[in-house]
């Protein structure tokens, strides 16, 4: 513990009163997201420094200078410099008081490169970050020519054990002897996914089982080194789900209950006899109960809202059915109206055709009327001429004109007209046959026709 000097306001104020001031325990962690997540909720009692994806072989192998390893990304360049210069190892050498916690399972997330006696991660993998996703090495660089080692190969773990032995004797053993904790996080890959209340085996189960066998062997190997504490979870908690921290389901990402168990054990491990682990677990359980209670309350409210929504939905369905029936009736009326409209249109077309025919007939009749009018006019003119002639004839043969001159003229006219009628073939006998009243009068037929018959409209009799 660090100490804080406090001056007490008393008669002995000139003398310092020494009181202990508790500080957070320093932690250095090396590995992947599992360790990062484990320590993320312990900030009230520990001060942690995490080296992302730091591994035992890379940290403890010989440093190397790569002259031709140039990258545009500063993040990539810094990470590669950390690995090639063995900066993590140097940090541990300079920090003799921090608790060290490391793991091996995260090594399976990527391959490694061997350049002589140096081992570094194959950084062509987005597990290191987004900037590493499409990374490529220059074909002439030492990185491109390096041998690729994969953690699924037994050779990698031979190298791992060799470099851990160096790590232990160089950095850990003396630290352990001074009472500083060194912890190995011994975890396994998740073999199942919690989905819809059931534990479902992951697809790559055979590969994961083989990897877990390797991790069992690594744990047995570590347990032989005095003072190294092994932090291990219950196998029943090593499952993943869609709700797992850092995203899931994935074999690298166990569920929240795993982390609660591991934090409890880790706190009891580095704070022995203080019950920090049990208090954390109790608080975690209480918090989860509170969350579960909130969820149940929310679920209850949701169910009530769902029932109300279902009732509203039923009412809406009923209203929809009524609307559909009204719509069907309206559609039927519309169809009937459409049929009537079609019939009316057909009738209108027929009437238009009939009207057109009648208009044509009227036009023709108008033309006929015009012709008839002209003919009537002509007939009227002829009638007028006839009437004039009849008037002339009447005047011509009138006996009321008693003058001698007039009688002479009448006699001449009568003689002239009878002569003309004879020339035109007037038949006196036929005239008398047709006009019995004239025959009975015993008068001259020709004279009678000229004087009376023409005026009376009797027919002109021919031989």
Predicted confidence (pLDDT) per residue in 14-57, tens digit: 433 333 445 799 999 999 999 999 999 999 999 999 999 999 99
Asked if the model's pLDDT at residue 244 lies above 70, the reply is yes
Task: Say if CB 90 and CB 17 are below 8 A apart.
Answer: no
Domain 20-274: assigned CATH number: 3.40.50
Domain boundaries, the chain: 20-274, 278-396, 403-456
pLDDT tops 90 at residue 427: no
Kindly tell me if the per-residue pLDDT of 387 is higher than 80.
no
pLDDT > 70? residue 442: yes
Mean pLDDT (the chain) is: 85
What CA–CA distance (Å, rounded) separates 433 from 457?
Answer: 16
DSSP label of 144: H
Query: What phi, psi does 423 have (nearest 5°)?
Result: -65, -35
CA atoms in the 13 A half-sphere facing the CB of 293: 6
- Which residues, at least 6 apart from 262, have a Cβ–Cβ distance to it below 8 Å? 38, 185, 231, 233
Give pLDDT tens digits for 283-312: 878 887 788 788 788 888 888 888 888 888
Percent residues over pLDDT 90 in the chain = 51
Whether residue 228 has pLDDT greater than 90: yes
Closest CA to 59 of 144, 159, 145, 184: 159
To the question of pTM greater than 0.75 for the whole model, the response is no
- pLDDT at position 349 over 80: yes
pLDDT at residue 17, as a whole number: 38
Which residues lie closer than 8 Å to 407 by C-beta, 6 or more apart? 401
The pLDDT of residue 108 is 98
Provide the pLDDT confidence category of residue 402 given band limits of 50, 70 and 90.
low
- Tokens found for residue 284: 């975690």
pLDDT band at 424 (very low <50, low <70, confident <90, very high): confident
CA distances for 345 relative to 126, 241, 294, 340, 353, angstroms: 75, 71, 70, 8, 12
pLDDT value of position 159: 98
pLDDT at 277: 84
Q: Give the pLDDT score at 29.
A: 97
Whether the predicted pLDDT of 84 surpasses 50? yes
Of residues 202, 191, 198, 187, the one with CA closest to residue 239: 191
Query: In this structure, are residues 174 and 227 in contact, taking their beta carbons and an 8 Å threshold?
Result: no
């Amino acid at each position: 513990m660090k100490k804080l000097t406090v001056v007490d306001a008393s008669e002995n104020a000139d003398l310092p009163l020494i009181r202990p001031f508790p500080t957070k325990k320093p932690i250095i962690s090396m590995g992947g997201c599992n360790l990062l997540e484990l320590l993320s909720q312990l900030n009230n009692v520990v001060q942690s420094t995490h080296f992302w994806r730091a591994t035992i072989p890379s940290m403890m192998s010989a440093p190397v200078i790569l002259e031709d390893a140039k990258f545009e990304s500063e993040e990539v360049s810094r990470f590669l410099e950390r690995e090639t210069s063995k900066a993590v190892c140097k940090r541990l050498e300079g920090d003799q008081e921090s608790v060290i916690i490391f793991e091996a399972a995260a090594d399976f997330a990527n391959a490694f490169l061997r350049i002589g006696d140096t081992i570094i991660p194959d950084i062509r993998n987005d597990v290191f970050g987004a900037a590493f996703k499409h990374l490529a090495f220059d074909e002439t660089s030492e990185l491109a020519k390096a041998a690729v080692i994969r953690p699924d190969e037994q050779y990698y773990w031979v190298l791992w054990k060799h470099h851990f032995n160096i790590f232990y004797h160089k950095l850990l053993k003396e630290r352990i002897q001074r009472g500083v904790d060194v912890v190995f996080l011994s975890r396994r890959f998740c073999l199942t996914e919690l989905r819809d209340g059931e534990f479902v085996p992951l697809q790559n189960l055979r590969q994961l089982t083989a990897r877990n066998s390797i991790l069992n062997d690594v744990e047995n190997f570590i347990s032989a080194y005095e003072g190294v504490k092994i932090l291990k979870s219950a196998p029943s908690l090593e499952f993943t789900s869609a709700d797992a921290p850092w995203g899931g389901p994935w074999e690298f990402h166990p569920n929240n209950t795993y982390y609660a168990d591991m934090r409890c054990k880790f706190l009891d491990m580095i704070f022995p006899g203080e019950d920090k682990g049990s208090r954390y677990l109790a608080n975690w359980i209480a918090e989860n109960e509170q969350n579960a209670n909130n969820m149940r309350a929310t679920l209850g409210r949701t169910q009530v809202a769902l029932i109300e929504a279902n009732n509203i939905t039923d009412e809406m369905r009923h209203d929809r059915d009524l609307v559909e029936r009204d719509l069907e009736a309206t559609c039927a009326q519309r169809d009937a109206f459409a049929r009537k409209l079609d019939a009316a249109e057909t009738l209108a077309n027929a009437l238009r055709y009939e009207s057109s025919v009648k208009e044509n007939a009227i036009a023709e009749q108008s033309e006929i009327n015009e012709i008839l009018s002209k003919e009537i006019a002509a007939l009227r003119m002829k009638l007028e001429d006839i009437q004039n002639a009849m008037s002339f004839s009447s005047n011509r043969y009138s006996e009321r004109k008693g003058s001698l001159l007039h009688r002479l003229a009448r006699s001449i006219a009568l003689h002239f007209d009878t002569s003309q009628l004879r020339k035109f073939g007037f038949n006196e006998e036929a005239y008398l046959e047709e006009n019995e009243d004239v025959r009975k009068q015993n008068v001259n037929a020709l004279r009678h026709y000229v004087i009376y018959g023409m005026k009376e409209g009797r027919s002109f009799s021919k031989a």
